[in-house]
Amino acid sequence: KSAMTTALIEFENQGITGEAVSIGKAPNASASTTTFTALGKRIATIRDYFDGTSGGEETSFAPPEILTDKQLDDARIASDFYQLVNWKTLFKSVTIKEKRKVGDEELYVVVKTPEKGNVVTDYVSTRSFLVLQRETLRTTLGGDGPAPVIEMYSDYKNVGGWMVPFTTTSKIPGFGSVVTRIKDVKFDIDLQDAEFQAKHK
């Protein structure tokens, strides 16, 4: 009913690295704190949070921002602790658009359309049924509009009965390629509601 993940992050195009601690709690609360490092020095921190109703972003280099409209709609879906199981309630429609061959892998292209928020497209292996890629339009804070984000998942490992992708490669507009490698995953830890709320009000 809860999880904590510690991961190393590498911004390949900027020469910046970081460490991210992400937490999640059923039914739909999530938060993550990322510390960025360059040339051996800590340069910034970013904290994202969502408590199931409201959320925002706190950084060390800008005023706090609050999620609104589609940002909130996207956060409700992304933060659902059992998102893959709750697809019938989270999305207005889910359709298998086609089969597509990527490298040696044949994939189902699954298009998930919510009542509110942006479409999510999953690429699911026809052999393992694991999600190998996800495409979303992400409405960012302070942005001009939704931006396409591609996440590729690999190095799946069974942790406590959950199949967890230990490597995620993200293609993010303005950042290029970002690689996240999980160091540690813990389930069913004690997390307080305050950990998913704003710290600076």
Q: Residue-wise over 86-106: b if at least 16 C-beta within 10 A, else e?
A: ebeebbeeeeeeeeeeeeeee
161 Ramachandran zone, left/alpha/beta (phi>0; psi -120 to 50)? left
**The pTM is what?**
0.87
**Nearest by Cα to 38 from 12, 54, 18, 64:** 18
| Residue 97 CA, distance from chain mean position | 23
pLDDT tens series, the chain, 201 aa? 999 999 999 988 888 999 999 999 999 999 999 999 988 899 999 999 999 999 999 999 999 999 988 889 999 999 999 998 999 999 999 999 999 998 889 999 999 999 988 899 999 999 999 999 999 987 665 556 678 899 999 999 999 889 999 999 999 877 789 999 999 999 999 999 999 999 875
Residue recorded with tokens 């972003």: 57
